[in-house]
Amino acid sequence: MSDETKMDVQAVERELTGKTLQTYWYLIEKPTRTTGPRELQRALNFFSPSIAVHHLEKLRKLGLVNKTETGEYVLKEEVKVGILPLFIHAGRFLVPRYFFYSVLVSTMLIGYLLLSFIANVPLNPYALLFGLVSTIIFWVETVRLWKKKPF
């Protein structure tokens, strides 16, 4: 990665805060269609369309969105800066990466409990403790990340 590219990423990271980050997040969750200022204003509860235009233009100047001939904006490039690397696309939604680990570990723990109950085998306290602790840790981290979403 060249110094120029690093500076661009740093500039993007500096600019992607607050309402601009909310605007970018909204566009990431709707990557296949265009978004107009009024739609963005309604979706993010901005006071006026000019605020939406301001944030969309900020993203356009950073090279993250394109403006169509009809005055609407469409996502051009998705960059993983700030909190964004901790989320992945699940359909049209951005979901914390830990969510999938949480589901996996929870499913394994429930499966272990069910199999032990069905086979009438005593539970191994170490396996149970490991399963419970790891399940709790992953769910706590998932919820913490979910709360950091811009909106």
Rounded CA-CA distance 117/22 in Å is 47
Q: Is residue 10 part of a domain?
A: yes
Residues 124, 63, single domain; the answer is no
Residues 43, 16, single domain; the answer is yes
Of 57, 52, 59, 53, the C-alpha closest to 79 is 59
Rounded to an integer, the average pLDDT of 65-80 is: 83
Residues 120, 70, single domain; the answer is no
Q: Is residue 7 part of a domain?
A: yes
Question: Token match 């607050």: residue?
Answer: 18
CB 94 within 8 A of CB 87: yes
Residues 7, 78, single domain; the answer is yes
Instruction: Flag whether pLDDT at 31 surpasses 70.
Output: no
Instruction: Flag whether pLDDT at 74 surpasses 50.
Output: yes
Rounded CA-CA distance 109/95 in Å is 22
Rounded CA-CA distance 90/137 in Å is 22
Rounded to an integer, the average pLDDT of 18-35 is: 82
pLDDT of residue 144: 94
Number of independent structural domains in the chain: 2
What would the two tokens of residue 24 be? 């970018």
CB 11 within 8 A of CB 62: yes
Q: Is residue 91 part of a domain?
A: no
pLDDT bracket for residue 106 (50, 70, 90): very high
The total number of residues written for the chain in this structure: 151
Residues 74, 13, single domain; the answer is yes
The range of the structural domain enclosing residue 30 comes to 3-82
Residues 71, 14, single domain; the answer is yes
